[in-house]
Structure 1
Amino acid sequence: MSGTADTEQALSKLVVKETQCPYCSVQCKMSVEELAAPVAGQRRAEYAVQGLPNKASQGRLCVKGLNAHQQVFSSERLMQPLIRRQGELQPCSWDEALQTIADRVQQLQHTYGPDTVGVYGGGSLTNETAYLLGKFARVALGTKYIDYNGRFCMSAAASAGSKVFGIDRGLTFPLSDIPKAECIILAGTNIAECQPTLLPYFNEAKENGALIIVIDPRKTATAAIADLHLQVKPGMDALLADAMLKVIMEADLVDSAFVKQRTSGYEQLAQQMGNLQLEQAATACEVELDMIRQAAIAFGNAQTGMIMTARGVEQQTDGHMAVRRFLNLVLATGKIGRTGCGYGAVTGQGNGQGGREHGQKADQLPGYRSIENAEDRAYIASVWGVEPEALPGKGVSAYEMMERIHEQHIRALLVMGSNPVVSNPNVRLVEEGLRKLDLLVVADMFLSETARLADIVLPVTAYMENEGTLTNLEGRVLLREQGRAAPGETLDDWVILCRIATKLGKGSGFDFDKAEDIFNELRVASRGGKADYYGITYERLRKEQGVYWPCPSAEHQGEGLLFRERFAHTDGKAAFTLGSSLGWDDVSDEYPLILTNGRILPHYLTGVQTRRSPALSAREVENFVELHPATAARHRIRDGEWVEITSAYGTFTVRSRIRESIRNDTLFVPMHWGGIQNVNRATRPELDPVCRMPGFKTAAVRIQPLRLV
């Protein structure tokens, strides 16, 4: 081979010096380099993936990050727009796809009004796209119906933090503070599988003498590192937190000075807690009272301590109040606002934090402003160049949008960065509703379960191919640079929104040339809001490798540790939470078991991306149910056989895995598969009355083996 040919081949090889994993909320930095090009019929391309030093994961990568590039180069990638003709999705031009969308949207809105169109976003979109999606819905479409899949992830913790602290940010402390805590409570979070690159922080804390307490119905990989594991009955987390607080009060471990100076509502709470009977609470939670006492006293006695919650606590119909009960523990012991202390909601999705701050949630405007606040509306309207009264009002939550679709109040839907036909509860209703739509448009990398139902499918770029910012679980804003050219006819999500807006005649507010231009408008829109990004620029992010929000000015360093001197309420105080903790218990003779769901290490969300990675898919090819040996014996189920699980809302089918690591009244099923293996075919549609979170973690079910004889 000639020298020129060698040079051309070398130049054609992929070398991405720095990018970010597209999966969990840690947002690990990494490099990707092609070592050997593919040869047709002989070999696949070979790549070297390395973690890069960064302040969150410190250069670590998990198995998902190491193999994320495989979905980028998957042969299943969508490379051109598709439009449905005679019942089949067929290739079309971008101009035809976008013009068809604009024409049909305008026709439907002329007939049924602006709110006949809905927008459904995702928690993995960049801050720029999430911001623009909210602006697109409210300005280009003029609809109030916009929400996103983060409603199923962070809404309980977000609303609880806002009520108690006056602000919602995933962690109130930097990750580097974890090893400085003397006691750590991990409630409903399986960090070892969901955010594995963070586990060394907790191992370091243990080496420093920290006591780790895990609250989970399963003996997870995270529970394996615990000094104390409270195997609580699903749905009883709030009551368990109350019982721990009662023990702390009786042991005189309340930080009275902190409570008096920096909180409100404690006296009323103390009076209410006098009515709680510890023995009854322990019985209801099905946790030994001695273990509750050990956990509570350990946390109360520790000089520094943290509590972290995740979906196990939050994805319940009392998730908002359950989180607030754990925040009562933090406040009563004064463990917040100082090094080694605080509360953390362990965000799930890659941009679950930033995605909920800038306007793709039904009740929010950029900067964590409220769409129902007149001053907030006026400010954002001035940034967007419209009159405040032109902005639509508050819409409804993600699942409630599906109900509106089923009722045909919404007749057109744009889905971007999500797969609602798998991720929503009560899937039968969702599927029926989406099939009723006059127009379903899906922007995705792959033909997901939702995209298969679409009238128009728009191909989007992958994580290595687009530029933008994401905000990790500790509130650190990070810049992900573009590492390779967009393949085929794929476009960035934000470019698609701008082009549709232009087709709708609203292009003047969407004439951006690059992602940085959108971020600069976002900075202004967030200025003065609770999630203030104004002092953050691309230049700073490149230089500093990430900046915490709030960051109100270019001179501000960003706040890693929140609430040092005051909370975000106008009086500067945090609020204790009152109320009763009734828990959940709907099991019956017909449905005698509790179904709960969650994540596993090799997969992410609905599996649309990770199932396109051979290395990840091979680790878990199909879905499964974990059940206790006693439960298996009672229902005559053998290990590894197909079983049918049924609730009042539907049925799904998976293989059995008999494990002693789970309670004998509980079934655990991962949430990464669609079709007949979709656990959400049996989840219930009831929502938390405050945050509208579905009760994914508790459904009454029955189980039976599937056999020919």
Structure 2
Amino acid sequence: MDALPAVTRTHCPYCALQCGMELHAETGTPLRVAGWNGFGVNRGALCQKGATSTELLNPAVRLTTPLLRSHRSAELEPATWDEALDFTADRLSAIGAGHGRDAVGVFGGGGLTHEKAYSLGKFARVVLQTPHIDYNGRFCMSAAAAASQRAFGVDRGLPFPLADVAHTDVILLVGSNLADTMPPALRYFTAQRENGGRLIVVDPRRTRTAEQADLHLQPVPGTDAALAAGLLHVLIAEHLIDEAFIAARTTGFQEARAEAQRWWPERVEAVCGVPAGEVRAAARMFAGVSAGAEDKAENPYGTSGMVLTARGTEQQADGADAVNAWINVALAAGKAGRPYCGYGAITGQGNGQGGREHGQKADQLPGYRKITDPAAREHVAAVWGVPADSLPGPGRPAVELLASCGTDIRALLVAGSNPVVSAPDAEFVTSRLRALEFLAVCDVVLSETAALADVVFPVTQWAEETGTVTNLEGRVLLRRQAVAPPEAVRSDLDVLGALASRLGRPGFLTSPAEVFSELAQASAGGVADYSGLSHERLDATSEGPGLHWPCPTPDHPGTPRMFLDAFGTPDGLARFVAVACEPAIEEPCAEYPYRLTTGRVLAQYQSGAQTRRVRALNAAEPGPFVQLHPDLAAVLAVAEGDAVRVTSRRGSAVAAARISDLIRPDTVFMPFHWAGAGRANSLTRRTTDPVSGMPAFKTAAVRLEAALVETAQVETARAETARVEAAQ
């Protein structure tokens, strides 16, 4: 391998902002992180997670050798690579032979590079020949993806650069707390307000992001579709719709209009808890009434506007419909397909977009092709050198896939995911993983899921490998290797290649550049066309800004802004979707009188498998908590820091009380980053959106009571912090 440079420009391993960073390798000192000022998305800014990301490279806090459990009752023990690979191949082969190829499943992650995600999909369909592959991105972006496909014919998180936010007159931000989840992105919203723009935030909690809003709507969790329908009702009733845009560039308005007629503001108030006056004010503000921006020379269309959604509105049992209801608002106001206008979904995971574009999702092949499309199957099969009829059909979405473990699915390969903590109804999921005949996990750390495995493969992480990702804007980026991995650590690509050889499919590509080249061929002509991209081209772009897909030829400049001329539907028109706004399936009752909603905090990330191993992040947020209103705390007779037991129909969790008047009195909030007694997903539902397969993380009926003992999870967090400190 060539010598690595002293300073490497690369990208953060965490969220989909993919902040640019510089890694400084100096002899005898740990790798040092600095912001990369030349990368325009974050312009040198890093959050605390990015700034401490190199601590995960410490051998004391990560896996450095394969682990093997020869019997389910035995402990995981160090093994050689040949022992781990041979055992895995033997078990996968035997289970496939004995129970059929569909008895083997694959579960991936939204943090995997394109090369890994693509190879995982190819491995499932060509080597294992199983339809059952899905990934944890199903928990993140699936509702927005399905809604965007229905409305625009294309799903790309933001169909415009994030920088456009700063120049938009009015933004409707739904279900996102960017101040905690993507702090460097907040600068664009601050600039938007400094430029005279206005911000509407929809969130049941008054978060740090909501504090910046001109108007904050606090709906009952799970009622977003009704709230959006109420805004559409006001736009129609007060003649604030853009009739010319609707006629020229959309279809389906009359059906959506008829549904919206049922949701006058007073009815919305009764269902959503948002005052009727605020519903009217939000609609008027979004339409640009009294915005003072109609004559801006840079926008000849009048006031510009965006609707941006995130997990708060998407992780519901009607997630796709809820997102389409918000898209309807944007379309009716004529705020789409124009400069500084449009709908966008704020992607969460580092490569959540690329993970589904290139074959990690149960119903898709590379290039965002549908696996049921005969032409798509022929094209991809030709690239893979296999007959099209050998490719399996659609598999089961993530929640169904995990629920099938131990019954229909007897063996599972997991890469870059920790469903024991991140999946809904997590205790049930844990029981299903324990019921498997064989579980293999590829991960950087010994996560709670890896601890259940029969084989654990220690794999390289972001700074130890080169690969590509797509950020929330559809910008394809090259992450560059900065350091060599520990001696006994290999790439996921090497693991898949070695397993493929043992299972009778030699020649599986393991070079990231070669894998990406094949991916580009497989994506050619698809919706997400990467065929004009390569590692070399991405490496050569000035200051490394990346290129936005679609990028179909080597001389194509990429597509920063989509839909300015036509939408991605066959006729080029955007679709209104008539949304029937139904109440949440699990409403509060006498036994479970409160609503639980879940989410993230600033200092931790996703299942916490990585961030809970970083000393500074644990110090900032050491354990789980329950945010509740002072009125509810008084009813429970609990004080700040007291242990509270939260119980749903699925299980219980215990965490410390965090009392705040910034949340609705009928709602409690728990972050989902911890395992053990404080695991929030012990409470959440496996109920899924029928359109997208998105689980209903944001709405669960619960009861609360003071707990007599301190949560064991706090003790676990303290012990883990002490272990990390000792290691460092």
Regarding TM over 0.5, the answer is yes
**2:8 matches 1:17:** yes
Do 1:421 and 1:431's aligned partners in 2 also have CA atoms closer than 8 Å?
Answer: yes
What residue number does 2:645 align with? 644
Q: Aligned-pair distance for 1:242?
A: 0.4
Quick one: which of 58, 64, 70 aligns to 2:55? 70
SS at match of 1:186: strand
Distance 2:59 2:677 in 1: 24
- Corresponding letter in the other structure for 2:643: W
Q: Aligned-pair distance for 1:642?
A: 1.1
Do 1:36 and 1:47's aligned partners in 2 also have CA atoms closer than 8 Å?
Answer: no
**2:493 matches 1:506:** no
SS at match of 2:701: strand
- Corresponding letter in the other structure for 1:661: L
Distance 1:304 1:313 in 2: 23
Specify whether residues 591 and 57 from structure 1 end up closer, same or farther in structure 2 by C-alpha distance, changes over 3 A only: same
**2:479 matches 1:480:** yes
What residue number does 1:691 align with? 692
Q: Aligned-pair distance for 1:556?
A: 1.4
Do 2:8 and 2:481's aligned partners in 1 also have CA atoms closer than 8 Å?
Answer: no
Q: Aligned-pair distance for 1:472?
A: 0.1
Paired residues for 1:10-159 under 5 Å = 15-33=6-24, 37=28, 45=30, 47-85=32-70, 87-159=74-146
Q: Which runs of 5+ in 1 are unaligned?
A: 1-10, 39-44
SS at match of 1:252: coil
Quick one: which of 182, 187, 196 aligns to 2:183? 196
Distance 2:238 2:194 in 1: 28
C-alpha distance after superposition, 1:104-144 (max 9, x if no partner): 11111111000111000000000011011000000010001
C-alpha distance after superposition, 1:423-461 (max 9, x if no partner): 111112111111111110001111100011000000001
What residue number does 1:515 align with? 512
**2:425 matches 1:438:** no
Paired residues for 1:241-320 under 5 Å = 241-301=228-288, 303-320=303-320
SS at match of 2:704: strand
Over the matched positions of the two proteins, sequence identity in percent amounts to: 47
What residue number does 1:540 align with? 537
- Corresponding letter in the other structure for 2:636: H
Distance 2:697 2:616 in 1: 28
Do 1:37 and 1:46's aligned partners in 2 also have CA atoms closer than 8 Å?
Answer: no
Do 1:366 and 1:525's aligned partners in 2 also have CA atoms closer than 8 Å?
Answer: yes
SS at match of 1:49: strand
Specify whether residues 239 and 74 from structure 1 end up closer, same or farther in structure 2 by C-alpha distance, changes over 3 A only: farther
Do 1:417 and 1:443's aligned partners in 2 also have CA atoms closer than 8 Å?
Answer: yes
What residue number does 1:344 align with? 344
Q: Aligned-pair distance for 1:639?
A: 1.1
Q: Aligned-pair distance for 1:558?
A: 1.1
Specify whether residues 277 and 296 from structure 1 end up closer, same or farther in structure 2 by C-alpha distance, changes over 3 A only: closer
Distance 2:583 2:385 in 1: 47
What residue number does 2:410 align with? 411
Do 1:16 and 1:484's aligned partners in 2 also have CA atoms closer than 8 Å?
Answer: no
SS at match of 2:35: strand
Specify whether residues 48 and 393 from structure 1 end up closer, same or farther in structure 2 by C-alpha distance, changes over 3 A only: closer
SS at match of 2:60: coil
- Corresponding letter in the other structure for 2:594: L
What residue number does 1:677 align with? 678
Distance 1:708 1:664 in 2: 25
SS at match of 1:270: helix
Distance 2:553 2:432 in 1: 46
Distance 1:543 1:339 in 2: 29
Do 2:111 and 2:351's aligned partners in 1 also have CA atoms closer than 8 Å?
Answer: yes
Paired residues for 1:455-470 under 5 Å = 455-470=454-469
- Corresponding letter in the other structure for 1:262: R
Distance 1:507 1:653 in 2: 50
Do 1:35 and 1:48's aligned partners in 2 also have CA atoms closer than 8 Å?
Answer: no
Distance 2:161 2:31 in 1: 36
Distance 2:4 2:41 in 1: 29
- Corresponding letter in the other structure for 1:306: M
Q: Aligned-pair distance for 1:46?
A: 7.6
What residue number does 1:589 align with? 590
SS at match of 1:293: helix
SS at match of 2:21: strand
What residue number does 1:4 align with? none
Specify whether residues 355 and 46 from structure 1 end up closer, same or farther in structure 2 by C-alpha distance, changes over 3 A only: closer
What residue number does 1:605 align with? 606
SS at match of 1:464: helix
C-alpha distance after superposition, 1:546-569 (max 9, x if no partner): 000011111211111110111111
What residue number does 1:422 align with? 421
Distance 2:481 2:262 in 1: 58
Q: Aligned-pair distance for 1:638?
A: 1.6
Q: Aligned-pair distance for 1:338?
A: 2.0
Specify whether residues 170 and 12 from structure 1 end up closer, same or farther in structure 2 by C-alpha distance, changes over 3 A only: closer
Distance 1:686 1:491 in 2: 37
TM-score (norm 1): 0.95
Q: Aligned-pair distance for 1:394?
A: 0.6
Do 2:225 and 2:579's aligned partners in 1 also have CA atoms closer than 8 Å?
Answer: no
Compare 296-305 and 229-238 and name the one that shifted more: 296-305
**2:224 matches 1:237:** yes
SS at match of 2:527: coil
**2:213 matches 1:226:** yes
Distance 1:74 1:593 in 2: 44
Compare 224-233 and 333-342 and name the one that shifted more: 333-342
Distance 1:315 1:694 in 2: 6
Q: Which runs of 5+ in 2 are unaligned?
A: 292-302, 711-728
Do 2:265 and 2:277's aligned partners in 1 also have CA atoms closer than 8 Å?
Answer: no
What residue number does 2:561 align with? 561
Do 2:439 and 2:454's aligned partners in 1 also have CA atoms closer than 8 Å?
Answer: yes
Compare 533-542 and 26-35 and name the one that shifted more: 26-35
Compare 205-214 and 550-559 and name the one that shifted more: 550-559
Distance 2:428 2:356 in 1: 26
Distance 2:569 2:352 in 1: 23
- Corresponding letter in the other structure for 1:578: A
Distance 1:272 1:160 in 2: 17
Distance 2:7 2:637 in 1: 53
Do 1:170 and 1:346's aligned partners in 2 also have CA atoms closer than 8 Å?
Answer: yes
Q: Aligned-pair distance for 1:70?
A: 0.7
What residue number does 2:524 align with? 527
Q: Aligned-pair distance for 1:36?
A: 8.0
Do 1:36 and 1:46's aligned partners in 2 also have CA atoms closer than 8 Å?
Answer: no
- Corresponding letter in the other structure for 2:94: Q
Q: Aligned-pair distance for 1:636?
A: 1.4
Specify whether residues 416 and 46 from structure 1 end up closer, same or farther in structure 2 by C-alpha distance, changes over 3 A only: closer
Specify whether residues 266 and 81 from structure 1 end up closer, same or farther in structure 2 by C-alpha distance, changes over 3 A only: same
Do 2:643 and 2:709's aligned partners in 1 also have CA atoms closer than 8 Å?
Answer: no
Distance 2:658 2:615 in 1: 23
Q: Aligned-pair distance for 1:686?
A: 0.8
- Corresponding letter in the other structure for 1:627: L
SS at match of 2:69: strand
Distance 2:210 2:709 in 1: 38
